[in-house]
Structure 1
Amino acid sequence: MELNPLLITEAELQAELAAIEAEAIGWLPLGQGAYLHVGDPDALVINVVGVPDAGMAGVNVLWVG
Structure 2
Amino acid sequence: GLTGHTETLLSDALGPKRIALVVGAEGEGMRQNTEAHCDILAKLPISDRVESLNVSNAAAIALYAMATHGG
Considering fraction of residues, name the structure with more helix.
Answer: 2
Q: Tell which structure's C-alpha radius of gyration is larger.
A: 1
TM-score w.r.t. the length of structure 2 is 0.26
Which structure carries more relative contact order (alpha carbon 8 Å, separation 6+)?
2
TM-score w.r.t. the length of structure 1 is 0.28
